[in-house]
């Protein structure tokens, strides 16, 4: 198993600034800044990150950065909203035609892991920094995250309905325990290592199903 200090990720290189003038549009520049900011947030934490550090990571002037984003919170919000919008849209598309609840769960877990295998910095930031947002940006980010949670919870509820466990099972606890497993991956899994996203997804799916569909554990003496 890959391991590292608990507060670090596996090395992720800073993105290169666009070099082709013809492709260096306003949106491509914003995307580059968002990626750079995400890495700074992941490496140093949102509170310690500064706009100056983000500008340096993006290889641009501080004034240039403010042309695209007027405050640090805006960067965090746009990144989180994009991530969960992408996850939700992708999952909804992948679930079309998938009727079996266990297959739907496998689809969800594989989609989640596959996405974050290429966005490990985003995974760390999204796992830690929701509460760094305030007011309207917090509510908007929370709303899209809640939609993703709700869809996953519905899948788990379908599995439990078809295979009632022999012990009381709280669906919210089950759903959050799954997300706890999935969102902890950045602490120990190296996507470039020998264990593929597919293998990780298959094992987590099987372990989770074995847990919620298993007989009740005997009481400890």
Answer yes or no: is 47 within a domain: no
Answer yes or no: is 50 within a domain: no
At 12-53, the pLDDT tens digits run 444 454 545 445 788 999 999 999 999 999 999 999 999 999
- Whole-prediction pTM: 0.84
Q: What domain count does the chain have?
A: 1
Q: What is the mean pLDDT of the chain?
A: 87
User: 197: domain range?
Assistant: 76-212
The answer, yes or no, to whether residue 71 has pLDDT greater than 50, is yes
Answer yes or no: is 206 within a domain: yes
Answer yes or no: is 32 within a domain: no
CATH number of the domain where residue 88 is located: 1.10.357.10
Answer yes or no: is 46 within a domain: no
At 114-162, the pLDDT tens digits run 999 999 999 999 988 988 999 999 999 999 999 999 999 999 999 999 9
Please tell me the predicted confidence (pLDDT) of residue 163. 86
Answer yes or no: is 153 within a domain: yes
Considering only residues 219 and 66, tell me which one the structure prediction assigns the higher pLDDT. Answer: 66
Answer yes or no: is 198 within a domain: yes
DSSP string over the chain: -----TT--S--PPPPPP--TTT--HHHHHHHHHHHHHHHHHHH-TTT--HHHHHHHTTS-HHHHHHH-SSHHHHHHHHHHHHHHHHHHHHHHHHTT--SHHHHHHHHHHHHHHHHHT-HHHHHHHHH-GGG--HHHHHHHHHHHHHHHHHHHHHHHHHHHHS--SS---HHHHHHHHHHHHTTGGGT--TTSSS-HHHHHHHHHHHHHHHHTSPPPPPP-
Answer yes or no: is 145 within a domain: yes
């Amino acid at each position: 198993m890959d391991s590292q200090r608990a507060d670090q990720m596996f090395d992720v290189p800073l993105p290169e600034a666009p070099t082709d003038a013809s492709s260096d549009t306003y949106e491509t520049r914003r995307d580059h800044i968002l990626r750079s900011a995400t890495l700074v947030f992941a490496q140093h934490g949102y509170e310690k990150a500064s706009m100056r550090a983000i500008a340096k990571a993006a290889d641009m002037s501080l004034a240039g950065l403010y042309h695209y984003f007027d405050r640090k919170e805006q960067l965090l919000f746009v990144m989180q909203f994009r991530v969960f919008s992408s996850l939700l849209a992708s999952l909804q598309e992948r679930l079309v035609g998938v009727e079996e609840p266990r297959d739907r769960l496998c689809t969800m877990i594989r989609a989640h892991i596959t996405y974050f295998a290429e966005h490990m910095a985003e995974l760390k930031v999204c796992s830690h920094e929701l509460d760094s947002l305030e007011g309207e940006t917090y509510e908007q980010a929370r709303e899209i995250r809640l939609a993703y949670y709700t869809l996953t919870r519905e899948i788990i509820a379908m599995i439990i309905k078809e295979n009632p466990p022999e012990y009381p099972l709280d669906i919210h606890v089950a759903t959050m325990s799954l997300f706890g497993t999935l969102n902890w991956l950045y602490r120990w899994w190296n996507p470039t290592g020998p264990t593929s996203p597919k293998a990780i997804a298959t094992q987590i799916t099987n372990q989770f199903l074995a847990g919620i569909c298993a007989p009740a554990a005997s009481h400890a003496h």
